[in-house]
Chain A
Amino acid sequence: MTIFNKVLIAATGVVCAFSVACGSGSSPAKANTIVQTGQNVAPIVVNSGPAASLSGSQAFSYVNGAFASVTVCVPGTSTCQTIDGVLVDTGSSGLRILSSALTTISLPQQNTAGGNPVAECLTFLSSYTWGPVQTADVQIAGEKASAVPIQVLSDTAFPVPAACQSTASQSADTLASLGANGILGVGPFAQDCGNSPGCVTTGSAGLYYQCVSGNCTAMGEPLAQQVVNPVVLFPTDNNGVIIELPAVASAATVSGSLVFGIGTQSNNGLGSATVYGMDNQTFSFTTSYNGTSYPGSFIDSGSNGYFFLDSSATGLPDCTNATGFYCPTSPKNFSATNEGVNGTSGTVTFAIANAETLFATTNDSAFSQLGGPSVVSTSTSPPPPASSLDFDWGLPFFYGRNVYVSIEGTTAPGGTTPYWAY
């Protein structure tokens, strides 16, 4: 066990030690108020998702997924289609829609300067998405972004390059594999790739490709052509989002709001939320638990549980059937501290219940006490190595909190972007 006696220097110049409350975050806060109306407010719902209506063995009920409706239009026209069941993901950036969900419109293909179609391979934790980059006007609630590069997910429009398949081994390009009609990435980065190595200047396996005669090869993709967080292309309310979901124990359906902009309207102010600055390279902050710091930690609505440590460190047994989740005999309480790079810190308390017991109520899709390990438990633990694990604050963290995600390169109240606030 190592206790990091680091001293953080806040942007204001105030020196704060970890033992001193620099920010005043605490949890759980008093009941959160959920904005219902406004041109910048889109309803979201946590339910079993669109894959629940698939037939036979392909059907499955999503767990802790927040879904929104997104309207995509042929640029500059009123030829549009509204796609529902799109997963709201603060852990990625960019709009991705299943090609199978685009039933009534066709969007224009993005081409390179040389006229070759552009496709993308984006690797998520558990799978990759593959398919052409196309252009759409994107409308959500009363917000509209024009000529947005999006990814259309398809394993057949262009053949999946071997290097893409080698990243994750599984694609998520169908309703049965993704569990959603698309992904609305409203995370803290402006583009999905950005200026990271392998993105702009040189191509890298597993990112952007140009396809010639059905053969796709890696290439650099200029920033302006990359799949982009659609929020940054809104004319206003473009510096971030707020996810607002009520407190819940377990439920079949939970309704909330996706609010665009931070401090840009009367309905999206920071209020009393504490700002936690994130590292602008790794888009993470530090979570401390039981005297150990985990600097790669993050808040992610696209993760569907609290994922942290392993059974030996938590005392929570792994499930036998619900593989990858914890199964304690009775719910167990935890307390951890989040620390922003701006010197703020705040305690989070949460509880983990038995996943198999939760899942036994088959109608339910929202579970505030669902969690699992982030590493494989080994007989030689504890503790696991700090660098290879982190706290993944998934959707259960959002119940009962308004969680703000500000976007890199924008100006937002409360501090330097990117940050989380809650």
Chain B
Amino acid sequence: MVEWRKVSIPLKRLAVGGVLALAMAALPASASLGGDAASIQADQIHMQGTRTMRAAESYTVHEIQGENGTTVREYISADGKVFAVGWNGPWFPDLKQILGTYFDQYSRARQAQPTTRIRRGPVLVNEPGLVVQIGGHVRAFAGRAYDPGLLPAGVGAESIQ
């Protein structure tokens, strides 16, 4: 298990006016996975959540506590790109919001999965440029998604939770 280098950054409170302006700027291009820091703020607004940050060696994790009890973690690299998202809680987050431009690829991959012998279990998508896995059951879900091509050097998928 990878342990955090705990460079703890306290809860960051954003001025309401500033947040709204940022959200309006960011939402049309709503991109979380693959997006920039502004897209994380858009997600925070969307989830009506509170946000904290943690820093690892080559990236920062923004953790958003949503009002529906689900926590979303967005992993942003030193060059300012969201390379992964992870989440857990009683309900799904808005996957369209947090997967951003990757959501359509995710949906296509899901619809392409064979149904002749249907599988009822964890969701696994392993596509070029997109890995998604979701497990758990009603009232306790966990999931993560990342673009393998965006992982910073030295950061393995096992770091994403």
* Docked-complex contact A166 and B97, CB < 8 angstroms: yes
Question: What is the bound-complex CA distance between A284 and B137, given in angstroms?
Answer: 9
A378 touches B136 (CB 8 A): no
User: Could you say which of A101-109, A122-130, A245-253 contacts chain B?
Assistant: A122-130
Most buried by A among B119, B131, B137, B141: B137
- In the complex, chain A residues whose CB is within 8 Å of the CB of B80: none
- Whether B94 contacts A166 by the Cβ 8 Å rule is yes
Are B122 and A125 within 8 A (Cβ)?
A: yes
Are A167 and B119 within 8 A (Cβ)? no
A28 interface residue per 8 A CB criterion: no
Q: Which residue of B lies closest to A87 (CB)?
A: B120
Q: Chain A contact residues: over half helix, strand or loop, or mixed? A: loop
| Given contacts A179-B118, A388-B144, A378 and B1 within 8 Å (CB-CB) | no
Chain B at the A interface: mostly helix, strand, loop or mixed?
mixed
Residues of chain A with a CB closer than 8 A to B110's CB: 126, 169-170
Given A283-B139, A385-B1; A305-B133 close (CB under 8 Å): no
State the CA gap A192–B138 with chains docked (Å): 8
Given A302-B120, A375-B122, A323 and B114 contact (CB-CB distance below 8 Å)? yes
CB-based nearest A residue for B140 = A282
**Given the contacts A2-B1, A380-B156, A385-B160, A63 and B90 also touching, CB distance less than 8 Å:** no
Kindly report which residue of chain B lies nearest to residue A218, judged by CB atoms: B68
Chain B CB within 8 A of A194 CB: yes
Cβ of A244 under 8 Å from chain B? no
B131/A197 in contact, CB under 8 A: no
Cα distance, A61 to B1, chains bound together (Å): 40
Q: Which residue, B90, B122, B133, B161, has most C-beta atoms of chain A within 10 A?
A: B122
User: Which residues of A lie under 8 Å from residue B157 when comparing CB positions?
Assistant: 378, 380-381, 384
Please report which residues of chain B, range 81-117, place their CB below 8 angstroms from some CB of chain A when the two chains form the complex: 86, 88, 90-97, 103, 106-107, 110-111, 113-117
The verdict on A322 contacting chain B, using a C-beta distance below 8 Å, is yes
Query: For residue A387, which residues in chain B have a CB less than 8 angstroms away from its CB?
Result: 88, 142, 161
A197–B139 touching, CB < 8 Å = no
- From the candidates A65, A125, A197, A205, name the one contacting B135 in the complex (CB within 8 A): A125
**A322-B122 in contact (CB<8A):** no
Q: Is the CB of A392 within 8 A of B68?
A: no
Tell whether A125 pairs with B158 under 8 Å between CB atoms, given A198-B69, A325-B119, A372-B121.
no
Contacts A322-B117, A385-B158, A388-B142 given: A123-B122 contact, CB under 8 Å?
Answer: no
Residue among B111, B126, B137, B159 making CB contact with A125, cutoff 8 Å: B137
Q: Are A304 and B138 in contact (CB under 8 A)?
A: no
Chain A neighbourhood of B1, CB < 8 A: 2, 383, 385-386
- Chain A residues with CB under 8 Å of B148's CB are 378
- The answer to whether residues A60 and B158 also contact, given A122-B138, A307-B122 and a CB cut-off of 8 A, is no
Residues of chain A within 8 A of B140, CB atoms compared: 281-284, 296, 298
Considering only residues 60-85 of chain B, those with a C-beta below 8 Å from chain A are 67-69
Chain A to chain B contacts (Cβ below 8 Å), 28 pairs: A60-B116, A62-B118, A125-B137, A126-B123, A166-B96, A166-B103, A167-B92, A169-B103, A169-B111, A189-B139, A196-B69, A196-B90, A198-B67, A296-B142, A298-B136, A304-B118, A307-B122, A323-B119, A324-B119, A325-B119, A372-B119, A376-B131, A378-B157, A383-B1, A385-B160, A390-B136, A392-B137, A394-B120
Q: Which 5 A-B pairs have the closest CB atoms?
A: A197-B69, A198-B68, A166-B96, A380-B156, A204-B68
Q: Which residues of B contact A (CB under 8 A)?
A: 1-2, 67-69, 86, 88, 90-97, 103, 106-107, 110-111, 113-126, 131-144, 148, 156-161
Q: A380-B157, A388-B143 are known; give 7 further A-B pairs, CB within 8 A.
A: A123-B91, A323-B119, A324-B124, A376-B131, A383-B1, A390-B142, A394-B120
